[in-house]
Amino acid sequence: MAKALRPLAGKVAAVTGGARGIGRATAAALLARGVRVAIGDIDAELAEQTAQALGPGAAGLPLDVTERASFSAFLTEAESRLGPLEIMINNAGIMPVGPFLEETDAIARRMVDINLHGVILGSKLALERFAARGSGHLVNIASIAGKSGVPHLATYVATKHAVVGLTESLRMEFGASGVSFSVVMPVGTNTELYSGLQQVRGIKTPEPEDVAEAIVEALQTGRFDVYVPRRMNATIRLGVLVPRRAADAINKLLGGDEAVTKPDRAARAAYEQRIGQTIAPATPSAPEPEVATVPANGQAGAESARPENDLQSEAEASQSEIKPPISTPASS
Ligand SMILES: NC(=O)c1ccc[n+]([C@@H]2O[C@H](COP(=O)([O-])OP(=O)(O)OC[C@H]3O[C@@H](n4cnc5c(N)ncnc54)[C@H](O)[C@@H]3O)[C@@H](O)[C@H]2O)c1
């Protein structure tokens, strides 16, 4: 007999990075099931707009997942407006792409800070609440990149493997606590983060709504491993069973080795510019001289000296046209 679905109506959820993309679609899907949702985002203005657009039951709040004070203030405010937190969705993430040796330390640190430490922090703050009450559901958004390797995406892939390992371990550590866990692993999804990149052959690019529905299903069933699309579960398991050379050949056949190495830079420019704005400037005492600078008019001074990859252009953004984060949370 099929297990009864867990009811969601009336619960309170928090979604990090919920102003756009997968986070926004997840907030919308939860609201449609009668869940009250706190949408936190470093783009506080957009979080507020998104909450207003999604209707009553949603609250848009400032959040920087890298700062404990900001994260704590977000959850405290969410609970005072909506009620005790029962669902935590650690979704915020960034994905700069480019050759590993051209990735600056600032970009690598920022990725680890948001994609991994932000999830660690969100997991701690949620589990403090959940464990004390003996209930709650923690959902961490990893990626199919948390189960495989992808050239030109090494640090991102490392953060996502870490999120899978973190969630696996928390599930065991809190096994008897009454808390549920899910780790979500979508393939490239149609959001700004994946703009200008290729999909693996034979897989239809999911919409953020597809990921949102998979998350809703996991909350209703308690499913831990959430692949999007679902059949990636079998693909990943098969890849582990066959010899490495065969797995490499299958990956090549599917175009997995080239999904990210040939980005459409024009299509990706807006995304790279957006995330570049939140990357900390290099300290003046430790400049990285190999990086070309961009004059105030935004044109590269010597085009021939300008590195041909996205990470580098992001480094330019971080070091020569530093703007404050899109929106600074009041508490940080
Ligand atoms: N789109 C894909 O192809 C894909 C595939 C697999 C996994 N994912 C993961 O899904 C998650 C959401 O990705 P998306 O595609 O919706 O990206 P997105 O860029 O559309 O949305 C991410 C949101 O996170 C917010 N954010 C960034 N830094 C933040 C910070 N420090 N604090 C709070 N908010 C912050 C951004 O402002 C943005 O609104 C990410 O963790 C990503 O790695 C995405």
Residue 186 bridge partners (DSSP): 228
- Tokens representing 138 are 């923690």
Percent of the chain's residues with pLDDT above 90: 73
| Probe target for ligand 1 pocket from 115, 121, 193, 195, with the most ligand atoms within 8 Å of CB | 193
Judge whether 111 and 100 are in contact, CB under 8 Å: no
How many A from CA of 291 to the centre of ligand 1? 26
What's the length of the chain? Answer: 332
Please identify, by atom number, the ligand 1 atom nearest to the C-alpha of residue 25.
16
Is 271 a residue of the active site?
A: no
* 26 close to ligand 1 (CB < 6 Angstrom): no
| Probe target for ligand 1 pocket from 16, 22, 116, with the most ligand atoms within 8 Å of CB | 22
Report how far residue 6's alpha carbon sits from residue 22's, in angstroms, rounded to the nearest whole number: 22
Residue 251's CB is within 10 A of a number of other CB atoms, namely: 18
Residue 182 bridge partners (DSSP): 139
Please identify, by atom number, the ligand 1 atom nearest to the C-alpha of residue 114.
31
* 71 close to ligand 1 (CB < 6 Angstrom): no
- Tokens representing 320 are 């020569």
* 67 close to ligand 1 (CB < 6 Angstrom): no
What Rg value do the Cα atoms of the chain yield, rounded?
20
| Phi and psi at residue 141, to the nearest 5° | -90, 110
| Phi and psi at residue 95, to the nearest 5° | -140, 80
| pLDDT number for residue 1 | 64
Please identify, by atom number, the ligand 1 atom nearest to the C-alpha of residue 144.
6
| pTM for the structure as a whole | 0.86
How many A from CA of 22 to the centre of ligand 1? 7
Q: Which domains does the chain have, with CATH numbers?
A: 12-256 (3.40.50.720), 265-320 (no CATH)
| pLDDT number for residue 108 | 98
Helix and strand tally (H, E) in the chain?
A: 11, 7
**Angle value at C-alpha 12, between 6 and 15, nearest 5 degrees:** 105
Of 156, 194, 227, 271, which residue is the catalytic one? 156
Residues of the chain with pLDDT under 70: 1, 280-332
Amino acid code (one letter) for 239: G
* 276 close to ligand 1 (CB < 6 Angstrom): no
* 114 close to ligand 1 (CB < 6 Angstrom): yes
Please identify, by atom number, the ligand 1 atom nearest to the C-alpha of residue 190.
1
* 212 close to ligand 1 (CB < 6 Angstrom): no
Contacts of 74 (CB under 8 A, 6+ apart): 14, 38, 40, 61, 62, 63, 329
Nearest alpha carbon, ligand 1 atom 6: 143
Please identify, by atom number, the ligand 1 atom nearest to the C-alpha of residue 47.
39
* 275 close to ligand 1 (CB < 6 Angstrom): no
* 143 close to ligand 1 (CB < 6 Angstrom): yes
Report how far residue 248's alpha carbon sits from residue 244's, in angstroms, rounded to the nearest whole number: 6
How many A from CA of 243 to the centre of ligand 1? 33
DSSP for 253-309, please give it.
HHTGGGTTTS--HHHHHHHHHHHHTTSPPPPTTS--TTSPP--TTS--SSGGGS-SS
Judge whether 206 and 186 are in contact, CB under 8 Å: yes
| pLDDT number for residue 303 | 29
Report how far residue 16's alpha carbon sits from residue 119's, in angstroms, rounded to the nearest whole number: 9
E strand segments, the chain:
12-16, 36-41, 58-62, 87-90, 137-141, 180-186, 225-228
* 92 close to ligand 1 (CB < 6 Angstrom): yes
| pLDDT number for residue 85 | 98
Report how far residue 61's alpha carbon sits from residue 47's, in angstroms, rounded to the nearest whole number: 6
- Tokens representing 82 are 């909506």
